[in-house]
């Protein structure tokens, strides 16, 4: 069953043992011991497990690991690095500005949806740095939250957008 596939996760090549049909999520959680992406539904309905593959948000719970061979997977753990590369920053910030915005507006309750919300919003802001409220709502509509934090996540995305597009920062 050992597959000896190699996948690229957060800019590192990682050799993995899982069978090729194993959903990427289980590989990230169990073999690579990443705590960010998490199981929520296993059916691509909720967004708990989101990661970026070549910059595009996907649901790792329904993506066989074989499908990401030769591509670049970024999890929430790699977002700050990715931001530093994109912006050509010499030093990696401790957190992606969006993560900092989640702290600044205290957007999190239980935090279970936070991984997917952040990954999806990062994708949005890299494509559209200054989205309107309606563009944010449309982009985020595939990500569910059970605690009712949508309003504060909206604020966090708006705050991050403002900070990221402020040349003084």
Partner 1 sequence: MTDMSNALSRRGLLKAGGALIVGFSFVVALPRNASAARGDMAGPPNPQEVDSWIAIHSDNTATIYFGKCELGQGNTTSLLQIAGEELDLEMSQLNSVRLDTNVTPDQGATSASSSIHRGGPPLRAAAAEARQALIRLAAARFRVQPGSLIITRGVVSVEGQPALSVSYGELIGDKQFNVNLSSAAPYPPAPQMHFAAAPLKPTSRYSLVGQSIPRVDIPDKVNAKNIRVQNLRLPGMLHGRVVLPRGQRAFGAGAKPLSVDENSIADIPGASVVRKGDFIGVVAEQEWDAVKAADQLKIVWQDTPPLPNDDLFAAMRASETTETIVVDMGNTEAGFQRAAHSAGATYRGPYQGHLPFSPNCALADASGEQVVVQCATQRVYETRDEIAAVLGVASENVRVQYYESAGTFGRSCYNDAALAAAIMSVEVGRPVRVQFMRWDEHGWDNYGPAHLADVRAGIDSDGNLIAYEYHGWQHGWTALSTVHDIALGVVTPERSGGSNSITVNPISTGSMYKLPSRRVVSHAVPMVGLLRGAALRSPLDLNYGFASEQTIDELAYVVKMDPLQFRRKNIGSTRWLDVLNAVAESSQWDARVAASTLSNERIATGRGIGLGTHHVSYGAAVAEIEVNMMSGAITVKRLWGALDCGLAVNPSIVESQIVGQMVQTTSRALKEEIQFDDRSVTSLDWNSYPILRFAECPEVIPIVVQRMEEPSTGAGEEVMGATMAAIANAFFDATGVRMRQYPMTSDRVMEVIATRSVPNG
Residue 130 has, within 13 A of its CA and on its CB side, a CA count of 4
66 binds partner 1 (CB under 8 A): no
* Total residues binding partner 1 (CB under 8 A): 55
In the complex, the smallest distance separating the C-beta of residue 126 from partner 1, rounded to whole angstroms, is 19
Burial (CB count within 10 angstroms: exposed 0-12, middle 13-18, buried 19+), residue 15: exposed
Q: How far apart are CA 60 and CA 100, in angstroms?
A: 24
Helix (H/G/I), strand (E/B), else coil: 78? helix
69 binds partner 1 (CB under 8 A): no
- Considering the complex, state which of residue 5 and residue 108 has its C-beta at the smaller distance from partner 1: 108
**Beta partners for residue 12, in sequence order:** 9
Residue 67 has, within 13 A of its CA and on its CB side, a CA count of 14
Residues 6-45: x/- map of binding to partner 1 (CB under 8 A)?
A: ------------xx-xxx--x--xx--xxxx-xxxxxx-x
Q: How far apart are CA 103 and CA 91, in angstroms?
A: 21
140 binds partner 1 (CB under 8 A): yes
In the complex, the smallest distance separating the C-beta of residue 89 from partner 1, rounded to whole angstroms, is 18
Point out which residues bind partner 1 (CB under 8 A).
1, 18-19, 21-23, 26, 29-30, 33-36, 38-43, 45-46, 48, 76-77, 94-95, 99-100, 102-103, 106, 108-115, 137-138, 140-141, 143-154
């Amino acid at each position: 069953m050992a597959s000896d596939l190699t996948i690229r996760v957060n800019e590192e090549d990682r050799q993995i043992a899982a069978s090729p049909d194993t959903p990427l999520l289980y590989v990230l959680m169990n073999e690579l011991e990443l705590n960010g992406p998490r199981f929520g539904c296993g059916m691509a309905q909720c967004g708990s497990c989101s990661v970026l593959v070549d910059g595009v948000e996907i649901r790792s719970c329904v993506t066989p690991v074989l499908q990401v061979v030769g591509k670049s997977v970024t999890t929430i753990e790699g977002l700050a690095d990715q931001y530093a590369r994109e912006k050509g920053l010499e030093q990696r910030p401790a957190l992606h500005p969006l993560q900092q915005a989640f702290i600044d507006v205290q957007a999190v309750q239980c935090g279970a949806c936070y991984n997917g919300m952040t990954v999806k919003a990062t994708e949005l802001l890299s494509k559209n740095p200054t989205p309107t409220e309606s563009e944010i709502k449309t982009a985020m509509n595939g990500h569910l939250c059970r605690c009712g934090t949508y309003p504060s996540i909206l604020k966090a995305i708006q705050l991050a957008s403002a900070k990221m597009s402020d040349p003084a920062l």
